[in-house]
């Protein structure tokens, strides 16, 4: 499923059907998070979150995602800088 999602995200940059599929994939999580909000504000917040999600999907560069070891090294570097300061 993850590989399919990555392909859909890449395709969604120029295909609205793929974008809708990605949005539908995140819809259950979005609804779950919205239950933490007062019912009066849920629809407005849902729309704002969808706009943010669409912008993030459109800007997301699949090729620039760091691997596990890259993230580990980055985290280690940050921890070392904190120890020095």
Neighbour-count burial of 9, counting CB atoms closer than 10 A to its CB (0-12 exposed, 13-18 middle, 19+ buried): buried
The answer to whether the CB of 16 falls within 8 A of the CB of 62 is: no
At CB < 8 A and 24+ separation, what contacts does 59-66 make?
A: 60/9, 62/6, 62/9, 62/10
Read off the pLDDT of residues 23-80 as tens digits, 9 standing for 90 and up: 999 999 999 999 999 999 999 999 999 999 999 998 888 777 777 888 888 888 888 8
Q: Answer whether 0.85 is exceeded by the pTM.
A: no
Residues 39 and 31: their CA atoms lie apart, in Å, by 12
């Amino acid at each position: 499923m993850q590989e399919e999602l990555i392909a859909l995200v890449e395709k969604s940059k120029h295909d609205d059907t793929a974008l809708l599929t990605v949005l539908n994939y995140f819809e259950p999580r979005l609804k779950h998070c919205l239950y933490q909000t007062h019912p009066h504000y849920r629809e407005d917040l849902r729309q704002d979150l969808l706009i943010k999600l669409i912008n993030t999907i459109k800007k997301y560069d699949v090729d620039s995602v760091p691997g596990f070891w890259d993230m580990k090294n980055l985290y280690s570097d940050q921890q070392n800088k904190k120890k020095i300061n």
